[in-house]
Copies of this chain bind each other. A is one copy, B any other.
Amino acid sequence: MWLFDVGEGTQHQILRSTIRPRKIEKIFISHLHGDHIFGLPGLLSSRSFQGGNTPLDIYGPKGIKEYVSVSLKISESRLSYKINYHELPKDTDGKIFEGKKFTVYAAPLDHRITSFGYRVVEHDHPGELMVDKLTELHIPSGPVYGKLKMGQTVTLADGRVIDGKQMIGHAQPGRIVTIIGDTRKTDNAVKLAQQADALVHESTFGKGENKLAKNYYHSTNMQAAQIAKQAGVKMLLLNHISARYTGKMAHELEKQAQTIFPNTKVVKDFDVVEIPFEKN
């Protein structure tokens, strides 16, 4: 479980969800504005309080370590786990993490202060051994299955030669999710979102508010939709909606954006969005 940005009250919202704080392994911070980090010390304490004892990785702009460590020091919070800080240099542009299942890329956006967008790429799932087909061919299970699964060519006891590659289904391409925090419309967002299955993009302002958006270093819903279109993503999720847009008006933002990019949704706390695998 990973988090992107931790606004004030995150720990309380998490308590009201099915998420367990100790399951959170990584936290990515886009930028250091208060509404994106002021919930972090509380969340870290509550992760400890609720039995979290595995290390936690925090990624973000320079300063995040000082903020977290001073907050924990002053409040005399002794955590039951270790925090690994990864402060990203301003000009970070590329891979920042590679794990067993995912690789993460970051690049700077265009906000009043250093702000990063993140691209999370799931590794391809290798094709499955087609057991049905093997059974049909009366190939008895055993160590031979392992060899076939690795794509090797095997000679059976009865003399038949079987090419493992023929016995493996299609690889399932990994999914890509891009998260664009506070920013003006920027090319780096297009780059990070390239062919993503889902793009989460801030949409502080609405249609016709480009000037406001520029002055406040934010984006409009229409700009986010343009990014989504240019990047060829499959789905656009708008968040960070200004408090001026409530209820019906938020729905209006969604409809406006859909004129540019049809598969757009405005998302809010507790929304769960499923990202399907691509069908082969």
Contacts and interface: CB of A to CB of B under 8 A. Distances in A.
Interface in A1-51: 8-9, 11-12, 32-35, 37-39, 41-42, 45
Contact of A37 (B33, B66, B75, B112): B75
A27 B32 CA distance: 25
Contact of A74 (B42, B63, B112): B63
Interface residues of A, number: 26
Interface of A: 8-9, 11-12, 32-35, 37-39, 41-42, 45, 63-64, 66-67, 70-71, 74-77, 112-113
Contact of A39 (B8, B35, B66): B8
Nearest to A33: B75
Contacts of A34: 41-42, 45, 71, 75, 77
B32 A76 contact: yes
A71 B75 contact: no
A95 B42 CA distance: 32
A80 to B, nearest CB: 14
Q: Which 9 A-B pairs have the closest CB atoms?
A: A67-B74, A34-B75, A70-B70, A8-B42, A9-B9, A63-B74, A38-B42, A34-B45, A32-B75
A20 to B, nearest CB: 16
Contacts of A8: 8-9, 11-12, 38-39, 42
Contacts of A12: 8-9
A17 B39 CA distance: 21
B76 A113 contact: yes
Nearest to A34: B75
Query: Among the interface residues A39, A42, A45, which one has the most CB atoms of the partner chain B within 10 A?
Result: A42
Query: Among the interface residues A8, A12, A41, A66, which one has the most CB atoms of the partner chain B within 10 A?
Result: A8
Contacts of A41: 34, 38
13 contacts: A8-B8, A8-B9, A9-B9, A32-B74, A33-B75, A33-B76, A34-B42, A38-B38, A38-B41, A38-B42, A38-B71, A64-B74, A76-B112
Nearest to A44: B34
Given A9-B12, A33-B75, A67-B70, 8 more contacts: A8-B11, A34-B41, A34-B42, A34-B71, A34-B77, A66-B70, A67-B74, A76-B112
Nearest to A46: B34
